[in-house]
Amino acid sequence: MSIFESIGIAGTGATTYRKWLDAVSDNLSNMNDAVSTSQSAFQQRYVIAQQSADGKGVQVGGIALGSKEGRIVYDPQNPLADANGNVRYPDIDLSDQMGQLIMAQRGYQANLSVVDRAKDAYQAALQLGRSS
């Protein structure tokens, strides 16, 4: 495997992890969005990763959506509450999302580290060529 191939593969990983970070960010920013019980709750996003078509790396195969049922909460003070005082919230767990965020962030950092190391190796090889 050449240095350029390793940079390309790490780039596909970084892109996939960035999409995962985007999905977690969407989930976290919408986890407290209340809607009336007649509407669907925000659907949690899940990134589906798969091997790239050329077999050299990974790509996002799609985004899966969670349940639109959400959870019903008694909140009669909410202006969106129905006649029984209930509203619908997304069924998103903060601790699960924080775990997902940490894993995606570490994966993203690891792939960027590979790119940095490959770049350093390439620059070192160029320096060897110049000093000869």
Instruction: Output 76 or 1, whichever has higher pLDDT.
Output: 76
Rounded to whole angstroms, the Cα distance separating 101 from 26 reads 11
Per-residue model confidence as pLDDT tens digits over 54-95: 888 999 999 999 999 999 999 999 999 999 999 999 999 999
- How many Cβ atoms sit within 10 Å of the Cβ of residue 92? 22
pTM score, two decimals?
0.85
% of the chain residues with pLDDT over 90: 77
The structural domain count of the chain equals 1
Over residues 18-44, the mean pLDDT reads 97
CA 71 to chain centre: 23
Q: What is the pLDDT of residue 42?
A: 97
Rounded to whole angstroms, the Cα distance separating 88 from 55 reads 43
Q: What is the pLDDT of residue 75?
A: 96
- Nearest residue to 59 via CA among 67, 71, 47: 47
